[in-house]
């Protein structure tokens, strides 16, 4: 479970449930309306923070624990890194994994 807190008041805003194992990495969109979470369950979840009851979109493709997620600043892409050393780039608008060779991004 991911717990969300209001930093100013210290109050819990809500929680996000959906991963089947522990969460390792998080990446917030700059506008604060979405969140990506990386998990040991081999998935990435994309959460809509404006509607906490809405089910997250799930990105699948890694074969082991997803350790890191980061947003690219000039494209709608999310980069994920896995325990096995693989790195994937995801288009967050179409929810598709992109294929690149090293140095192409």
| C-alpha to C-alpha distance for 10 and 15, rounded to whole angstroms | 14
pTM value is: 0.88
Yes or no: say if 41 and 63 are a contact pair by the CB < 8 Å rule: no
User: What is the full per-residue pLDDT of the chain (105 aa) written as tens digits?
Assistant: 999 999 999 999 999 999 999 999 999 999 999 999 999 999 999 999 999 999 999 999 999 999 999 999 888 899 999 998 889 999 998 888 876 554 554
| C-alpha to C-alpha distance for 36 and 47, rounded to whole angstroms | 6
């Amino acid at each position: 479970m991911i717990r969300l807190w209001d930093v100013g008041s210290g109050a819990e805003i809500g929680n996000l449930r959906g991963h089947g194992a522990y969460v390792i990495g998080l990446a917030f969109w700059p506008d604060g309306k979405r969140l990506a979470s990386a998990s040991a369950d081999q998935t990435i979840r994309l959460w809509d923070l404006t509607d906490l009851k809405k089910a997250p979109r799930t990105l699948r493709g890694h074969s082991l624990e997803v350790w890191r997620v980061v947003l690219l600043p000039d494209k709608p892409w999310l980069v994920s890194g896995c325990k096995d050393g693989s790195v994937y780039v995801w288009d967050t608008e179409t929810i598709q994994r992109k294929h690149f060779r090293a140095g192409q991004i």
